[in-house]
Amino acid sequence: MNKFVANANIVLNEVAELIDNPPQKIDYQGEIKAGVDLGTANLVLAAVDKDNKPLLALCEPGTVVRDGLVVDYIGALKIVKKMKIKMEAIFNREIKYAATAVPPGTGGRDIDTFKNVVQGAGFTVKNVVDEPSAAATLLGIERGVVVDIGGGTTGISILEDGKVVYTADEATGGTHLNLVIAGGLGISIEKAEKIKRDPDRIDEIFPMVIPVIEKIASIINNHIGKYKAETVYLVGGTSAIDGIEEVLAKKTGLKIVKPSQTLLVTPLGIAINCE
């Protein structure tokens, strides 16, 4: 594992701890850089200091974004506002600036919608980046394939010299894992979602989800085509499932790097880009 990813892991684990046990009060008077990640399954507000050290992160489930588009503008606004107020109470002061990110390939007016949500919640938007670039910032990478396996989709972005040179988004993600688990066990989708995240049941459910992971591998293979990609960096919540990296390595023949806390890579990268 390269030095940058090892460092990123330390920071990511700190953030996970902050999400699980948010401090009641933080006495910090320096500059706060905030990042808002509007995902299909989760909305995250992360804050770092001027040296990009994590200060706080809040996460709320939400279904306000679908297929890379804000489908519930008012709902999104409410959740971001709620997280802003909560964060400001912990810091005991206003947090003015935030960055946000859009899925790769998002066009002009749709970018404005993401920006308007964050602005409408009371932030001044300093920067709008694309999600894979935000992830690459945190991981300290200039080249390689960022594969973001989220709730509804898998995003594939190829980076060369620090720039995104190719991007694609396909409708396979965590919800498809839920579908096969629910079908296999004859249970509801909601129950399947819980069981999927239970480390004690991973041996039981993993064989069921292998075909979905293999589909994700073939999506990666189809898209990297002519690019001389060697390394895949896994991000997004679904990448957290234990064993996904081995299946992807076998089916793609690529080196798979999986940071700890894959769900938090992009949100934290967004906060770092608040400048």
Q: Which of Mg ion, ligand ATP, none is residue 238 near (CB under 5 to 8 Å by kind)?
A: ligand ATP
Angle at 154 between CA 151 and CA 155, to 5 degrees: 125
**Near Mg ion by CB under 5 A: residue from 54, 68, 132, 150:** 150
Secondary structure letter of residue 228 according to DSSP: -
Q: How far is the CB of 182 from Mg ion (least distance, A)?
A: 22
Rounded least distance, CB 39 to Mg ion, Å:
4
Tokens of 100: 């946000």
**CB nearer ligand ATP, residue 196 or residue 223:** 196
Out of ligand ATP, Mg ion, none, which partner does residue 273 contact, by CB within 5 to 8 A per kind?
none
Three state DSSP letters for 51-102: CCCEEEEEEEECCCEECCEECCHHHHHHHHHHHHHHHHHHHCCCCCEEEEEE
Q: For ligand ATP, which is the closer residue by CB, 34 or 91?
A: 34
111: CB partners within 8 A, 6+ apart: 102, 128
Contacts with ligand ATP, residue ranges (CB under 6 A): 39-42, 148, 150-153, 173-175, 193, 196-197, 236-238, 240-241, 263
Of 35 and 39, the one with the shorter C-beta distance to Mg ion is 39
CB of 91 or CB of 233, closer to ligand ATP? 233
Size of residue set near Mg ion by CB under 5 A: 2
Of 39 and 54, nearer to Mg ion (C-beta) is 39
Q: Which does 269 bind (CB under 5 to 8 A by kind): ligand ATP, Mg ion, none?
A: none
Tokens for 94?
């206003």
In the 8-state DSSP scheme, what is residue 123? P
CA distance 30 to 178: 43
Site for Mg ion in 209-238 (CB under 5 A): none
Phi, psi of 209 (to 5 degrees): -90, -5
Of 122, 28, 127, nearest in space to 80 by CA? 122
Q: Residues in the chain, how many?
A: 275
Q: What CA–CA distances, in Å, run from 187 to 41, 212, 229? A: 20, 18, 39
- Shortest distance in whole angstroms from residue 208 CB to ligand ATP: 13
Report in angstroms how near the CB of residue 177 gets to ligand ATP at its nearest.
7
| 39 is a site residue for Mg ion (CB under 5 A) | yes
Residues of the shown chain interacting with Mg ion in the complex, contacts defined by CB under 5 A? 39, 150
